[in-house]
Amino acid sequence: MAPMSARLYARALLEEIEGRSPEQQTRQLAEQDETSTQKGTETFLNDILDHISNYEMEHRTDFMTACDDARLRSASRPGSLLHGVISLVCVTVKLLDRRFKSPDQAAQHEADEYCAELFADPWLKEAIRVIYRPANKVRQSTESRTWDNIDFSSIEYHKAGTTSFILKGRGSQAVNEAGVRPSLAIKCVLFPWNKLAAIARATDTYAATYGSDEITSVVVKPISSSDRWVVMPFQEGETLGEHLAAFEAGEPTMAARLKKAQQVATKLTAALHLLAGGAPVDPKNTRSQHLDLSPNNVILDKETAEVRLIDLGINHLYSRQVGISEHDDSVYIAPEIKNRRPESVTADAYSLGIILMEILAGSPPRDGRTPDEIWTTSPVLGRVLEDLIDERPERRLLLRPETEEFAFDTLGEHLDFYFALVQQESEVQESEFGRPFAKYAPTSREVATQFKQVLSWRKLGERRPRREEYLLLFSVMATAAWWFIAAKTALLKLDDLLTGEVDLEEFVADAGLAANIIAFSQGLVAAKYYQTIFARLSVRVIPGRLARTAEVLMRSMALVAVPTTILSTFSEELYWTWPWTCAASALAVTACNGVTLRLATQTIRASRKEFSTIPERGKVFARGYEQWWWTMLIYAILIIILASGVSAGLLQDIWAYVFIGVVVTVGVHYVSKCVGAGPAVRGSLARAFFAGERMAILAQRAPA
């Protein structure tokens, strides 16, 4: 049978898949030699995207279905390489289809099962040997010898990569006297990606780049590579992506997520430090960074659970924007790498930040911004992770000293310190008592948490921020204020209980009892308001009069209920002032909410030009914080009207007003706002104030 040209073979193969091929042409296809089959199939697969598009446009049916039908027809004939070729087309179309659709674990699992079933066919294995073998001009090369030393009867489908599919097989030659043959991983680049010059070149040089003795052992070193495949030892173990999927299926608590994130951060920073040669990252040496760090490119060794790195180097498919860059592993890749700027030293730090956010939030942030739940959980956590993921490399890691060269061992220590800080917070502990107490109790265990954190900060010596002791002081004051108010307004005093002389006469009067009830409820919500929202926030590093005013108002909230409590409960002559003191407290809170909102809004607006991590307009503040100041103002005005009516003798039903006041104070302000929305509001403000802190750092570092 005369050999067909590559273009004629490709056209005949398309007609075979479409079901339009005459029997004589089908027989001619099946009888082609290996060289003609290889060249013709390559030509067909290089245009596979056009074939898919044209077929579905003309026939309005799925090209995948047509390929499966053709595979079944070819299986009914006597075995030939043509059947393996059509099966390879099916695998290619299936994996391309998965790549061009939104990420879906079920779809990925279905695609992997489909491919694994097809690879049970020996003719598909033979097609892989023929279609992917090195070109004739390098038949005597290292690549050719490596390919010929693979036992293709042993290969099986392992998994799909971003631009490839990975097979597991064995070498054909024993490596010792016991006859043991090495396990191999064969990474075959999918058509048509391997016709892209950048991808073909990167794959072809992969073994020379990452297979030398100079490369650290944390890298799974390739044996050989060509422009369409890489052969390396098969690393037993699961990928970090598979490990995290199983972890997520267990519905972990935030405490478990924090522990897992810290473990992953420790292992990855250690591995990346070894990759950099145990030294600061060299921007001129691309081999000192991974540049394509994602959970699927990290393997946890089956025996030691230590990290092994695979698929290093720039994945050029992401930079070419061919339709898959919005999802899959590209979400982990630093923007400068997608823009082909490998001289960045923090590209892998960006990828690490995205991986840690995925562990903590359940999925990677596809908009390049820190998920709200991380800021809600802990401002400390949001602060350290957001510092890793700005789109511009020069805007990352602003929290570290500018004079330090970037190295992954110091980043590992930095992250470990912050994770330890967060784990001291009661909101993220496993304790069945600690978390509910922190959520509902007025003091929220803030003093204990901040005291432990201050002790940790002091270990840093001169590098520690001085504001931690300052914030602890005001938390102590807020807690002391709450217990003072609780003692002052208690119906039964301690000395009464000790002497047994309980006298409630002074509380029988409506005004006295009313004043104590209102003062108690005000003290309750004031303690919760300060310790839930402002206890860990400070704007002292942000310059400007507005920031100084906000700082004063935020700190005053620690004691906002004390003066009004003393005034309205000091003596019987002052009991009648309780509506006015209640109004005064509401006006003070109104001022604090209004000024902090304005500062946060201005800071976000100014920093949006500098940082990519700033949320879009309308998504900055959680749980309606923009409305808190004016709803509190309305509440204050209503109380002033009530106070005026009571003072003038126009309003007589004191207990009705007390009941309404307590319901609003406890039900709305305490339960709904402080307990329910408080952590999210704190996270929103923390994000805004951290943006201001980063702006201040940039201003300090800017040349005169």
pLDDT in the model for residue 289: 93
Instruction: State the chain's mean pLDDT as an integer.
Output: 87
pLDDT tens column, 352-374: 999 999 999 999 998 889 999 99
Give the integer Cα–Cα distance in Å for 564 and 100: 64
**Which one-letter DSSP state was computed for residue 429?**
S
Say if pTM beats, i.e. exceeds, 0.85: yes
pLDDT(507) > 50: no
Between residues 162 and 441, the one the model is more confident about: 441
Per 3-state DSSP, the chain is made up of helix, strand and coil in percentages (nearest 5) of 60, 5, 30
Closest listed residue to residue 239, CA positions, set 158, 296, 294, 168: 296
How confident is residue 343, by pLDDT bands cut at 50, 70 and 90?
Answer: confident
Q: How many residues does the chain have?
A: 704
Torsion, Cα of 698, 699, 702, 704 (10° steps): 180
pLDDT(326) > 60: no
Q: Which CATH code, of 1.10.510.10, 1.10.40.30, 3.90.230.10, 2.40.30.10, is assigned to 239-423?
A: 1.10.510.10
Which residues of the chain are in CATH 3.30.200 domains?
Answer: 149-234
Average pLDDT of span 675-702: 92
The alpha carbon dihedral of 101, 104, 107, 111 has a sign of positive
Render the burial of 507-542: b for 16+ CB within 10 Å, e for the rest.
beeebbbbbbbbbbbbbbbbbbbbbbbbbbbbbbbb
Closest listed residue to residue 330, CA positions, set 249, 339, 300, 375: 339
Start-end of H helices in 134-217: 142-148, 197-204, 206-210
Q: Helix/strand/coil (H, E, C) string of 653-684?
A: CHHHHHHHHHHHHHHHHHHHHHHHHHHHHHHH
Domain with residues 149-234, CATH architecture: 2-Layer Sandwich (3.30)
pLDDT in the model for residue 620: 74
Average pLDDT of span 120-139: 85
pLDDT tens column, 260-308: 999 999 999 999 999 999 999 998 888 899 999 999 999 998 888 899 9
Judged by average pLDDT, the poorest of 190-199, 438-447, 486-495, 642-651 is 486-495
| DSSP characters over 312-330 | -S--HHHHTT-S-TTSGGG
How confident is residue 508, by pLDDT bands cut at 50, 70 and 90?
Answer: very low
| Residue 178 burial class via C-beta count within 10 angstroms: exposed 0-12, middle 13-18, buried 19 and up | exposed
**Which one-letter DSSP state was computed for residue 219?**
B
pLDDT tens column, 620-636: 776 688 999 999 999 99
Contact yes or no for 360/381 (Cβ under 8 A): yes
pLDDT tens column, 555-604: 999 999 888 888 777 766 666 777 888 888 999 999 999 999 999 999 99
How confident is residue 330, by pLDDT bands cut at 50, 70 and 90?
Answer: confident
pLDDT tens column, 393-435: 999 999 888 777 899 999 999 999 999 999 988 878 777 777 7
Judged by average pLDDT, the poorest of 44-53, 73-82, 530-539 is 73-82
Distance between first and last Cα of the chain: 80
pLDDT in the model for residue 46: 92
pLDDT in the model for residue 511: 56
pLDDT(492) > 60: no
How confident is residue 1, by pLDDT bands cut at 50, 70 and 90?
Answer: low
Residue 147 structure tokens:
């390919």
Which residues of the chain are in CATH 1.10.510.10 domains?
Answer: 239-423
pLDDT in the model for residue 310: 93
pLDDT tens column, 546-557: 999 999 999 999
pLDDT in the model for residue 368: 87
pLDDT in the model for residue 418: 93
pLDDT in the model for residue 462: 59
pLDDT in the model for residue 571: 65
pLDDT in the model for residue 428: 82
pLDDT in the model for residue 682: 94
